[in-house]
Structure 1
């Protein structure tokens, strides 16, 4: 990560998540964008182009609102080439996967298989969890469980976990981690705080949620996700890959820049084993599937109203750049100059890829996107570019 962002709320969030802010680059002179036929949305074309102009290799954007659906892309699909990213390309969604995982757990709550205040220890007795940790605490990041990708404290102290960045990650990017291995690593470390006593983003919470789903259903997480969410919504381009390092076509390449003995190197990391983050961030999708899913969720087509309301109850201790955290999603008020419009979201990144997934509470207006990295690091410009994009889409500014 660039030093210009160290110490900010945005960087702390990304560090806790165990996923780097997407690094970026663009071949000089490539500035052409493509957009969906039938309507010209110059403000959206400009917004996409600004991400590329800020140093990101490529971006694809999909917006659905009262004017219909618009898709566009800018930048390059692969460094050294001229082809633009496909608007239906696959990408790694990173922590956006947490929203799917939370929704899957809440489907089991709706079916009466588990309760939000059920102790996790009763579902997974083999781990010896603190019996005060509940399902709700996992989904809202208030369990206090050590983040297996490392803990980052306000005073700059770092307690490392598994490698997820730098040359150490590059050398192990095809290594397979088992979910149980990640949980046991977490439990071998002191908790960040007593259960319920604080808020801290921990990937481990969502790995535990995965194991709970498997224990309650007797099926693999991927199978249960497919059965309860993906197939009913016809999300044919979304998958939980486990340890598979491949990427379905079409896709834009992603790159990772790291330090190797004092030299900056850039590597194509499109193919990588995402098992290090498991169900906290391993999924692959498209902007179309994310739009279909998130709109269906927010409009009440997946969960009953009472559980959707629970999902939206946020913890004030989680306040940050992305808003406040509920159960597997953020809620952000865009401010008085936007009529205090509230958007719900869960973004994510996974060494080389970044995903955006936003919706209004009724699911009628959505924005989904993928940003790919290149040969230069431009993460310091990401927060401002995202804020401007949100205002353009949801505020008409």
Structure 2
């Protein structure tokens, strides 16, 4: 279902959540206007119908929460509002990293352990360490870029896949194997494997670990994770999501017709998220994304030793360890977290997680104790994606008001 050129802007909230101090009403109105302006200008190009923003100025507030547009393209669809849910995509890779590090802190494993120790059924990858899975230097191919994955999305979209099903899409079979890589290579397969290790070590399903050790432990009341189908109480709150990305797969070097072409225009909200699982299958609202990521960056999730491991960067350019990003090496990746020099605003922790019809973006401005989180309901082509422009506009508003 495609979104028309004219999208009604339905503004239903400019909510100040204050603890002691009140956010300036003019600043709130300007942030709301920024959302409306962005949605009006990008609705056609990005096939987006709504956007949510959460801007927090400290661990307990104050904060500004704002929404524009609707949950879908139908005239009957309601407005985006507080509690509207979006798929988190790869921002929830941080859940897998947290579980591994919590298990390490409990003496159950080490991030230096190999796959051969915990998952011996995959001997081709036996020497890869857990750390290399989490920082994307394993060289293991990406199952979600395969033609087989695209066929499932298109032809069997409600099928619930197991972690083993996903690994089988990337595991070498001896003929027609996917290419391996050196250095840094982004592969969702890494995080499916990490989730399997966490489950094996703990003796519980990955789903139950996320609920017990993350959602309940941190008090996330609008964050949800299921390895298969979500309950109606969650899906009823989920915005519709639209796929509009004509890009070819990483494994289509001479691409003429993208494998995902038949997905373009679809509302993917009814598809099974089991294809993402530990690589990005969680659902949340923007406020809970903020709450979780603040806990991560403030060191409230794991002990100091594991926190240091969590933040240790490799260069996206070289795959080698770096102390921090720099002008000549501006992008780094740690364990499920990204860091980059973001234009004139400098080096910051950030992540944009995507699924087939959703985007969740946060940036953590540590020195200012500021976090900006945005969520919207489409996946466009990379060159059409201007969600970072909205984040920049909001940052400028906040900076000018200080």
- TM-score, structure 1 as length reference: 0.80
Q: What is the rounded CA distance, in whole Å, between the counterparts of 2:170 and 2:6 in structure 1?
A: 44
> Are residue 180 (structure 1) and residue 203 (structure 2) matched?
no
Number of aligned positions between the proteins: 355
Is 1:192 the counterpart of 2:172? The answer is: no
Distance 1:91 1:180 in 2: 26
CA distance in 2, matches of 1:32, 1:25: 15
Q: Shift of residue 277 of structure 1?
A: 2.1
Aligned pair partner of 2:14 in 31, 35, 42: 35
> 1:366 maps to what in 2?
371
**C-alpha separation between the residues in 2 aligned to 1:391 and 1:316?**
28
Q: Contact 1:200/1:318 (CA < 8 Å) preserved in 2?
A: no
Structure 1 alignment gaps of length 5 or more: 1-22, 151-159
What is the CA distance between 1:313 and its match in structure 2? 2.0
Question: What is the match of residue 380 of structure 1?
Answer: 383
Distance 2:272 2:162 in 1: 12
Helix, strand or coil at the partner of 1:244: coil
How far does the alpha carbon of each residue in 1:42-85 deviate from its partner, in whole angstroms, 9 at most, with x for none?
44223322431212211011010168200111112221336321
Query: How many Å separate the matches in 2 of 1:242 and 1:261?
Result: 23
CA deviation after TM superposition for structure 1 residue 345, in Å = 2.3
1:259-298 correspondence to structure 2 within 5 Å: 266-298=265-297
Query: 1:26, CA displacement in angstroms?
Result: 5.5
Which of the residues 33, 36, 41 maps onto 1:49? 36
Equivalent residue, structure 2, for 1:154? none
Aligned twin of 1:228: 213
1:70 matched residue in structure 2: 64
Conserved? CA contact 2:116–2:125, under 8 Å: yes
Higher relative contact order (CA 8 A, sep 6+): 1
Cα-to-partner distance string for 1:245-297 (whole Å, 9 max, x where unaligned): 55443232223358999999633321110112221011111112111111011
1:362, distance to aligned residue in structure 2 (A): 7.0
1:379 CA displacement: 5.2
2:394 counterpart of 1:392: yes
Contact 1:99 1:329 in 2 (8 A): yes
Q: Distance between the aligned counterparts of 2:297 and 2:264, measured in 1?
A: 42
Aligned match for 1:353, one of 335, 338, 358: 358
Structure 2 residue aligned with 1:58: 50
C-alpha displacement of 1:364: 3.0
**Displacement, 1:119?**
1.2
Instruction: Return the offset for 1:191.
Output: 4.9
Q: Relative to structure 1, is the Cα distance of residues 360 and 183 closer, same or farther in structure 2, using a 3 angstrom cutoff? A: same
Residue 316 of structure 1: CA displacement? 1.5
- Say if 2:170 is the partner of 1:162: no
After superposition, give the CA deviation of every residue in 1:205-255 in whole Å (9 maximum; x if it has no partner).
Answer: 000001101110100001111111111111122122111055443232223
Q: CA RMSD in A?
A: 3.1
Q: 1:176 to 1:358 in 2, by over 3 A?
A: same
Q: 1:137 to 1:262 in 2, by over 3 A?
A: closer
TM-score in terms of structure 2 length: 0.79
Give distance in 2, aligned partners of 1:266 and 1:369: 22
Q: Find out whether 1:137 has 2:132 as its counterpart.
A: yes
Q: 1:68 to 1:176 in 2, by over 3 A?
A: same
